[in-house]
Amino acid sequence: MAQLLPVDTFDLVIFGGTGDLAMRKLLPALYHRDKDGQITAESRIIAASRGALTQQAYLELVEEALKSNLAEGDFDEAHWKVFARRLHYAQADAYEHDGWGELNKLLSGYEERTRVAYLATAPGLFGAIATGLKSNGLVTEPSRIVLEKPLGRDLDSARDINDAVGQCFAENQIYRIDHYLGKETVQNLLALRFGNSLFEPLWRRSAIDHVQITVSEDLGVGGRVEFYDRVGALRDMVQNHMLQLVCLFAMEAPSSLDQNAVRDEKIKVLRSLKPISAEGAKKHSVRGQYSAGAVNGETVDGYLDELDGGKSTTETFVALKLEIENWRWSGVPFYLRTGKRLKAKHSEIVVQFQDVPHSIFPEQEYNVSPNLLRIRLQPDEGVQLSVMAKEPGPGGFELKPVSLDLSFAETFGVRYPDAYERLLMEVLRGNPALFMRRDEVEAAWQWIDGIIDSWQTSNQSVESYVSGSWGPSAAALMLDRDGRSWHQED
């Protein structure tokens, strides 16, 4: 395993510090990094929130959260006592900037340290909190601010947020998080593409027939239904996570791993995405919403039941056919799909290579299937390449696809750190390469806004799909029209 070095002593203030993200993801991630010796004893993690909480009550909340959110066996009583010493609580209301006395007191005298404000709140509060930090004199030179997604709900609101935060922090102090960029296998895409010479000559239209990207979830929207109903799958998953995957997959080789070299290449991909027009929307996109069904052997409610019988046309599933208009990818469709309450939690990129140009194996007798490269993001992270081989035996000549299979867990035999562990350390180290720059977020919104407009103009309906399936039949039809089908294990 790569050597883990401690990061410089820091003060990390988490706004929304008692909320779901902090409790479920951020604190467990920090606990792990602390346990591995990456957090110095003097560093402080300060939860800022509206409620009045004693230090003791806050610690009880965190202890409870760690016990339920860390993997079995990862909570260690002795280490909890050490970690608890780093934790502090300060009452602060996003809009009442005069009432930030506790925070001011805690931070006063520590101006030289790395200072990070992590905004794990609704995006509507980002501007107000940034302004509060500035008006309280809390934005020091070594300060950084982390913005959680969603960054707005369209291009205009994203620009407003970027403008408001930009009044208080310089662009190089702003870290816009997309947790997919912290996933080990997503970073492995860079290793696969640019650490091997094997793939580069094949990574283009002359060798690739098409690319499929699936991010499926078996869970429904559950407790987030009110929030989700205003958002939908396109904004929740495609605008950020899936487009980032497309960018890393399709971008040209950056000249280095430098933050701007990578981001400069990613934005070129975003700017090359062909807009989905109102006329093309029905052919190039599918919207779906789950109805009741069974997932993993358990019966589950439909989306509208979770919404308390309300009416809604919000999509919980989306499939898109995307085209990248540049020399490398012209004519290579990228099929994307993501949804809730699908058959399994499963994320992967499948690259289908072209058929052999001339087959010496007659079609009537042999089944020659195209080579597939599967990059599995979760679960069971790894890479699999399927090639045709001759089945052993002295009889006839039988062809079979076989897999050259690399399971990362088996190969490296280590625990896969959660994406937040990696990303928090990158913020604390001051490396924004794995975060989104303002122009990237806005370019992504611009393309997404175009789809939403097209859906509205063409009155694109939402197809119902049964929970536990692979989504609406229209998603299969979209590929069928092109003579293709989704690669999935049924």
Supply the minimum distance, in Å, between the C-beta of residue 488 and ligand BG6: 17
SS3 per residue for the chain: CCCCCCCCCEEEEEECCCCHHHHHHHHHHHHHHHHCCCCCCCCEEEEEECCCCCHHHHHHHHHHHHHHHCCCCCCCHHHHHHHHCCEEEEECCCCCHHHCHHHHHHHCCCCCCEEEEEECCCHHHHHHHHHHHHHCCCCCCCEEEEECCCCCCCHHHHHHHHHHHHCCCCHHHEEECCHHHHCHHHHHHHHHHHCCCCCHHHCCCCCEEEEEEEEECCCCCHHHHHHHHCCHHHHHHHHHHHHHHHHHHHCCCCCCCCHHHHHHHHHHHHHCECCCCCCCHHHHEEEEEEECEEECCEEECCHHHHCCCCCCCCCCEEEEEECECCCCCCCCCEEEEEECCECCCEEEEEEEECCCCCCCCCCCCCCCCCCEEEEEEECCCEEEEEEEEECCCCCCCCEEEEEEEEEHHHHHCCCCCCHHHHHHHHHHHCCHHHCECHHHHHHHHHHHHHHHHHHHHCCCCCEEEECCECCCHHHHHHHHCCCCCCCCCC
* 296: its two tokens: 């993993």
Supply the minimum distance, in Å, between the C-beta of residue 276 and ligand BG6: 22
Sketch the per residue contact string, 173 through 212, with ligand BG6: x for CB under 6 A, - otherwise.
Answer: ----------------------------------------
**With respect to ligand BG6, which residue has the nearer C-beta, 11 or 236?**
236
CB 164 within 8 A of CB 126: yes
Supply the minimum distance, in Å, between the C-beta of residue 249 and ligand BG6: 17
> Phi and psi at residue 367, in whole multiples of 5°?
-110, 95
**With respect to ligand BG6, which residue has the nearer C-beta, 236 or 381?**
236
Which residue is at the shortest CB distance from ligand BG6? 236
Where in 87-116 is the site for ligand BG6 (CB under 6 A)? none
* 47: its two tokens: 């939860």
Supply the minimum distance, in Å, between the C-beta of residue 235 and ligand BG6: 9
Sketch the per residue contact string, 445 through 474, with ligand BG6: x for CB under 6 A, - otherwise.
Answer: ------------------------------
Residue 217 is a binding residue for ligand BG6 (CB under 6 A): yes
**With respect to ligand BG6, which residue has the nearer C-beta, 149 or 321?**
149
Where in 227-246 is the site for ligand BG6 (CB under 6 A)? 236
Supply the minimum distance, in Å, between the C-beta of residue 86 and ligand BG6: 25
The C-alpha atoms of residue 152 and residue 123 are separated, in whole angstroms, by 6
Supply the minimum distance, in Å, between the C-beta of residue 21 and ligand BG6: 10
**With respect to ligand BG6, which residue has the nearer C-beta, 34 or 184?**
184
**With respect to ligand BG6, which residue has the nearer C-beta, 236 or 421?**
236
**With respect to ligand BG6, which residue has the nearer C-beta, 106 or 221?**
221
**With respect to ligand BG6, which residue has the nearer C-beta, 390 or 415?**
415
Supply the minimum distance, in Å, between the C-beta of residue 243 and ligand BG6: 13
Annotated catalytic residue, options 32, 179, 210, 241:
241
Where in 144-173 is the site for ligand BG6 (CB under 6 A)? 149
Supply the minimum distance, in Å, between the C-beta of residue 321 and ligand BG6: 22
Identify which of 43, 59, 47 has the alpha carbon closest to the alpha carbon of residue 21. Answer: 47
The size of the interface with ligand BG6 (CB under 6 A), counted in residues, is 3
| Whether 284 is catalytic | no
**With respect to ligand BG6, which residue has the nearer C-beta, 149 or 266?**
149
**How far is C-alpha 127 from the chain's CA centre?**
23
Binding site for ligand BG6 (CB under 6 A): 149, 217, 236
- Which of the residues are catalytic? 241
